[in-house]
């Protein structure tokens, strides 16, 4: 049984994809519910709508040793807490996968319990509509792995890919998020617009140069090519509102401290100056409240 921690778009998307493949996922959330399942409609990339009713548990009702495999689908700021809660309910040899954007929580957990932690990267695009409906706006992939596990875990869900060395994959995803997420807020646009609006596209290219430099100097990744990677994902998820844009619209804190903040810290350690990324971080931190579109 796979537990999916988090009831945001990524959590619901993962639970629905697992259900589509015949798994019986259990969504774990922070609030108690009258019904033991969560009902929602998903619109897939072709516009087809499917209704789901997926088992739901509140943390407090999860018995010890009840989790064998859990996907942490919370925001980065909640991921470490979710990990600590999951560890309390984990079976011997159980594993948790971090699927949050950005860096920090997964590395911290990896240091605490390396054998229990898998690092994941998700490039699917999904958002929630005002009525709670889930929109799967762009097909991506889920890759997971760990340098501490020598072979793919058994029973890897279909559509989940295994990579023994997650570092380049995490950095690729970090680069994509460092470009798409802040710019989608600055230009208040969907992901696809970043590939077509000339001023946004040009700014993305300028920021990408700095992202690639940080990856090379800080992580030894010499060819991140973050501009190409971000444009590819922006096209694949053209109709998606990035998670940062969704947070901005909802007046919620975003994950940019774990994305741009992480990169700028890494740059500072290397003595690299990154005016483009600093400006984007500053601009997105001081945006007036969302006023519509």
**Cβ-based nearer residue to ligand KPL, 13 or 67:** 13
Least Å distance, CB 1 to ligand KPL, is: 26
| Inter-residue contact 260 to 280 (CB < 8 Å) | yes
Residue 33: count of CB within 10 angstroms of its CB: 13
**Cβ-based nearer residue to ligand KPL, 67 or 242:** 242
Cα(244)–Cα(285) distance, integer angstroms: 11
- Contacting residues toward ligand KPL, per CB under 6 A: 101, 123, 125, 176-177, 180-181, 191, 233, 237, 240, 242-243
Residue 243 DSSP SS3 = helix
CA geometry: angle at 76 spanning 3 and 238, to 5°?
Answer: 90
Least Å distance, CB 66 to ligand KPL, is: 29
Least Å distance, CB 140 to ligand KPL, is: 6
**Cβ-based nearer residue to ligand KPL, 116 or 277:** 277
**Cβ-based nearer residue to ligand KPL, 26 or 229:** 229
Cα(160)–Cα(121) distance, integer angstroms: 10
Least Å distance, CB 287 to ligand KPL, is: 17
Least Å distance, CB 177 to ligand KPL, is: 5
Least Å distance, CB 60 to ligand KPL, is: 29
**Cβ-based nearer residue to ligand KPL, 61 or 285:** 285
Alpha carbon 104 to chain centroid, angstroms:
13
First-to-last C-alpha distance (Å) of the chain:
41
Residue 201: count of CB within 10 angstroms of its CB: 16
Cα(245)–Cα(205) distance, integer angstroms: 20
**Cβ-based nearer residue to ligand KPL, 89 or 227:** 227
Q: What does the chain come to in residues?
A: 293
């Amino acid at each position: 049984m796979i537990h999916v921690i988090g009831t945001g778009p990524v959590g619901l998307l993962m639970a629905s994809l697992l259900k589509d493949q015949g798994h019986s996922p259990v969504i774990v959330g922070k609030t108690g519910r009258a019904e033991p399942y969560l009902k929602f409609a998903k619109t897939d990339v072709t516009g087809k709508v499917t209704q789901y009713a997926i088992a739901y548990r509140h943390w407090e009702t999860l018995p010890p040793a009840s989790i064998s495999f859990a996907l942490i689908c919370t925001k980065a700021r909640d991921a470490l807490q979710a990990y600590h809660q999951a560890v309390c309910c984990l079976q011997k040899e159980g594993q948790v996968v971090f699927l949050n954007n950005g860096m920090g929580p997964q590395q911290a957990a990896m240091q605490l319990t390396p054998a229990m932690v898998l690092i994941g990267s998700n490039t699917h695009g999904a958002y929630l509509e005002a009525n709670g409906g889930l929109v799967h706006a762009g097909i991506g992939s889920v890759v997971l792995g760990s340098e501490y596990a020598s072979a793919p875990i058994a029973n890897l869900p279909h559509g989940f890919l295994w990579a023994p060395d997650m570092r380049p994959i995490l950095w690729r995803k970090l680069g994509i998020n460092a470009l798409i997420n802040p710019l989608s807020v600055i230009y208040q646009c969907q992901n696809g617009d970043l590939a077509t609006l000339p001023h946004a596209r040009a700014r993305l290219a300028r920021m990408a140069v700095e992202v690639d430099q940080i990856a090379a100097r800080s992580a030894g990744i010499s060819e991140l090519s973050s501009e190409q990677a971000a444009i590819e994902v922006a096209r694949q998820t053209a109709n998606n509102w990035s998670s940062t844009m969704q947070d901005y619209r909802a007046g919620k804190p975003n994950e940019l401290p774990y994305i741009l903040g992480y990169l700028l810290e890494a740059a500072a350690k290397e003595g690299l100056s990154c005016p483009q990324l600093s400006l984007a971080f500053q601009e997105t931190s001081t945006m007036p409240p969302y006023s519509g579109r």
